[in-house]
Amino acid sequence: MTEDDLKNLFAAEEIPTPDENARKVALNLAVAEFEKNKKSENSSQGNGFWSRLIGNKPNQRSEKMSFSKKKVIYGGLATACVALLVYNVAAPTLSTSSMSDAAMISNLSGASAPQQKADQNQPSRKFNDIANNQINSVSSLPTLGSLFGISESKKEKAEAEMATAATVSRIGSVGAATGLVGDSASMSSDMVVSSVPSPASVAPMVAEMDVVAQRQQEFGRDKFEEFEESPIKAVKAEPISTFSIDVDTASYSFARSSLDRGVLPQKDSIRIEEMINYFDYAYPLPEDKTQPFSTNVVMKPSPWGEGKKLMTIGIKGYDIPKTSMPNSNLVFLLDVSGSMNEPAKLPLLKQSIALLLDTLKPTDTVAIVVYAGAAGTVLPPTRVENKNQILLALQNLSAGGGTAGAEGIRQAYQLAEMNFDKNSVNRVILGTDGDFNVGITNQEELKDFVEREKDKGIFLSVLGFGRGNYNDAMMQTLAQNGNGTAAYIDSLSEARKVLVEEATKTLFPIAKDVKIQVEFNPSTVAEYRLVGYETRALKTEDFNNDKVDAGDIGAGAEVTAIYEITPVGGPTAVDPSRYAQPTLEENKVASNELAFVKVRYKLPNEDTSKLLTTPVTATTGTDNQALESETDWAVAVASFAQILKGGKYTGAMTYDDVLKLAQEAKGDDPYGYRAEFITLVHKAKTAAGLEAQPSNGGYVGGSNGGIVIQPYPYPVPNQR
């Protein structure tokens, strides 16, 4: 067939509409493969481009392979000619943002060359015109000999190698555009390579690609303990309810982090009691540290069901004056594994500790233990008066490696024990994303270890960081059994709240093993339901057993618990028994009591518990307007948390009802936390049910306004 025959054939052929997305994907894959092959060259052996530039003599093996290399080069050029013909048919138009081969060579060699623009008005360019254009583009470059001062023979080899590499890159694009390479279904149509990265820019691009790939792998791996909401119970069958207090706040800040991304939090991440206890409440302060907290009960109508009532129990801890605070012996146990290599993890953790240092006394001591693939001490016990030394140790920390968390915990406790002071607060503070994947990773085994250590007077608190592989279940286990608290730090503002504004609540316990037991009167109450505290439930007999562990409360902290009750004669969830007979006690004149609240606690240095009791009637707390207003705020937060979990027990209540109740009960808000809550309720109204997962075509960006998928500004590697 002659050239005229080819011209006539192409002139009569209808050119198919090019697949723009396939062409862009082809360019990405081709350039990525080119960069990968370029990196894999072993220039130190003398058969690479840069080795020849500096005069390295090719080794014997390279000389033996020269004939094979020539065959590859010549074969590649021949294939390029055929492939370019195919490319003219499959994708005749070139994007104005794509590069010519000349520009590719120019970019890699450091020379400048005129870029070839796409001819948008000629959808069918002839094969010989394309070939001439490719040849002219290469020949128009400044010679490599003039650029690097190398001999003519070496210049010819270099130009041949560079031209071949650029042409092979174009062949890769053709293969992808015709459906021969890769899978483009999941790639964004906006992924266009406007230039091949220069050698100086390759490293940061690869680093960012590694971070994106890590985020893709870690997506959706946040771990939470599964549990069912507390059910409605019949008083005649189970008149007694027992649970451990909980002053943790991690659930609220994690929910806020999710809503700030424009997505609803996972249901198991919502622990209603932690949402309620995130806020301060104006409960009366106890006057004497020998009775370290007051118990306040308020009865109100329930907004969740007609005929029901809410019984709110509020506990306020004794606040230690700053002049009376004991010294602190703190050991920071910091996760520096590879999973912490994100801005919201290790860097934020270091900033958080720096904030805490400002609240400590000069006579307090601080030590730092780190763990990754192994564990070690980076700062021995150091007095806070040497703050610069502590900050320098923090500044030098970087992330990398596995996560041998158990070994780090052992070393941290050993260090705390070596510096133990019975008159001080001895505490290990763990900062991590909870991703233990080296050594002991069994939660029960770690639980047993921290339980034994707390009996020595060394407590454990946990600060959680990051998203994607956040292991909340592990951190809850450690904090609950280490006589400490668990907080989730999603911002520097939250770090300031937990470690500066509420440092005394976090560091200085005023009571330990605090348990609450409520006995309901079957003559006046038919049913009850405890709102939250599912993971803190205790057996009835555990209440009087001082060997059974429970929660701790820090100086000035508040704890709030809410029961929804159904008075006798009201609408019950369970039908009354046909055959139940009234007991002897019920035949007597019924008492006006609804319930009897009991609280057990131990002072920090004692092992025997003390008991507080409070009888509850239908009018308890109704004469205190301040308490009623605080109760309304707690109910608003509890309503919001239950709706986020699915609203199983909230009836017809909506987000708008929550907003109305919260705005009316907002009260004093010096730090703006209650205003922020109202904003979160607004965000929940429009939040997505599932977070968008980044694919090969984009990476996650944006904050506070929802999730944004942005196109990659560089080639995407094949992740299959």
Whether residue 328 has pLDDT greater than 90: yes
Residue count of the chain, please give it.
720
298 and 365 share one domain: no
165 and 199 share one domain: yes
Lowest-confidence segment of 43-57, 317-331, 684-698 by average pLDDT:
43-57
502 and 519 share one domain: no
The pLDDT tens digits of the residues spanning 631-676 come to 999 999 999 999 999 999 999 999 999 999 999 999 999 999 999 9
Tokens of 60: 């014997």
Continuous segment of H or E residues that includes residue 465: strand 459-465
Cα-Cα-Cα-Cα dihedral sign, residues 232, 237, 239, 241: negative
Q: Which tops the pLDDT comparison, 476 or 137?
A: 476
In DSSP terms, which residues pair with 596 in a beta bridge? Answer: 519, 615
Q: Which tops the pLDDT comparison, 4 or 487?
A: 487
What pLDDT was estimated at residue 207? 52
Answer whether 510's CB lies under 8 Å from 289's CB.
yes
**Helix pair angle (152-177, 66-90), 10° resolution:** 40
The pLDDT-based confidence of 331 (bands split at 50, 70, 90) is very high
3-state secondary structure labels for all residues of 237-265: CCCEEEEECCCCCHHHHHHHHHHHCCECC
The pLDDT tens digits of the residues spanning 171-207 come to 333 333 333 333 333 333 333 333 444 445 545 555 5
What pLDDT was estimated at residue 664? 95
Query: For residue 636, what is the domain's CATH number?
Result: 2.60.40.1230
Residue among 565, 645, 546 nearest 235 (CA): 565
| Percent of residues, the chain, with pLDDT higher than 90 | 40
The pLDDT tens digits of the residues spanning 512-555 come to 999 999 999 999 999 999 999 999 999 999 999 999 989 999 99
What pLDDT was estimated at residue 203? 53
419: in domain: yes
The number of domains in the chain is 3
Q: Which tops the pLDDT comparison, 279 or 403?
A: 279
Residue among 504, 448, 451 nearest 320 (CA): 504
Continuous segment of H or E residues that includes residue 461: strand 459-465
The pLDDT-based confidence of 600 (bands split at 50, 70, 90) is very high
239: in domain: yes
The pLDDT tens digits of the residues spanning 382-436 come to 999 999 999 999 999 988 876 655 678 888 998 999 899 988 999 999 999 876 6
200 and 302 share one domain: no
What pLDDT was estimated at residue 289? 76
| Percent of residues, the chain, with pLDDT higher than 70 | 61
Q: Residue 611 corresponds to which amino acid?
A: L
**For 223-242, b where at least 16 C-beta lie within 10 A, e where not — what string?**
bbeeeebbebbbbbeebebb
Q: Which tops the pLDDT comparison, 21 or 473?
A: 473
The pLDDT tens digits of the residues spanning 455-484 come to 888 999 999 999 888 888 888 888 888 888
What pLDDT was estimated at residue 265? 94
For residue 256, the enclosing domain spans: 233-320+509-573+588-686
608 and 672 share one domain: yes
580: in domain: no
220: in domain: no
Among the candidates 459, 477, 507, a domain finishes at 507
| Total Cβ atoms within 10 A of residue 7 | 13
Query: For residue 337, what is the domain's CATH number?
Result: 3.40.50.410
346 and 488 share one domain: yes
474 and 529 share one domain: no
Q: Checking phi first, is residue 262 left (phi over 0); if not, alpha (psi -120 to 50) or beta?
A: left
For the segment 500-509, the average pLDDT, to the nearest whole number, is 89
Whether residue 103 has pLDDT greater than 60: no
200 and 241 share one domain: no
Whether residue 134 has pLDDT greater than 80: no
| Total Cβ atoms within 10 A of residue 13 | 10
Whether residue 506 has pLDDT greater than 50: yes
What pLDDT was estimated at residue 392? 94
DSSP 391-458: HHHHHT----S---HHHHHHHHHHHHHHT--TTSEEEEEEEE-----SS---HHHHHHHHHHHHTTT-
CA 414 remoteness from chain centre: 30
Whether residue 55 has pLDDT greater than 50: no
Residue among 232, 211, 174 nearest 345 (CA): 211
714: in domain: no
The pLDDT tens digits of the residues spanning 225-273 come to 899 999 999 999 999 999 999 899 999 999 999 999 999 999 999 999 9
228: in domain: no
DSSP 557-601: -EEEEEEEEEETTS--SSPPPSS----HHHHSPPPSEEEEEEEEE
292: in domain: yes
Mean pLDDT taken over the chain? 74
What pLDDT was estimated at residue 444? 77
Q: Which tops the pLDDT comparison, 573 or 162?
A: 573
